[in-house]
Amino acid sequence: MPKVTFLPDGNSIEVAPGTTILRAAQQSNAQVGFACGGNCACSTCHVYVKQGVESLSEMEEDEEDILDKAFDVKPTSRLGCQAKVAKEDVVCEITRESRQAWFDEHPEERAKLKAG
C-alpha cells in the first residue's frame, strides 16, 4: 500500500489506493486544514507535493479554480481533498495556510502550544 508522509512533522501512514491526501492526513493526525469539509470549496487543504506527484489523480477544473484562490500557489500545489493517491508513495509539505486553518479548527491544540 502507498505511504503518505506529511512535512515538516513527518507524520506518515499507509493508505489504500484511491484515498485522498486529506483523508491520509486525518488518519495520521497531520495538521492539514479542511474548512469546507473536503468539498473543494475553500483551499485550506492546500499542500505542496514533494514526491510522488505522478502517483496522484489528475487535477480537475474544480480543483484548479479553488487553487487559484489559495496563497503562494506553486507548480507542486494540490488540494488535499481532491488529490487521490494511486500506488506510489507520496510526500507532501503542509502549507502555512493549511496549518493555520487546522489550528483554527483545533483551538485546544493552539492552547497547548501556547502553554508550551
- Residue closer to ligand FES by CB (options 6, 34) is 34
How big is the chain by its Cα radius of gyration, in Å?
Answer: 13
Does residue 25 bind ligand FES (CB under 6 A)? Answer: no
- Residue closer to ligand FES by CB (options 52, 80) is 80
Does residue 47 bind ligand FES (CB under 6 A)? Answer: no
What is the C-alpha to C-alpha distance for residues 20 and 38, in angstroms, rounded to an integer?
Answer: 10
Does residue 94 bind ligand FES (CB under 6 A)? Answer: no
Does residue 41 bind ligand FES (CB under 6 A)? Answer: yes
Work out whether strand 46-51 and strand 90-94 pair parallel, antiparallel, or are unpaired: antiparallel
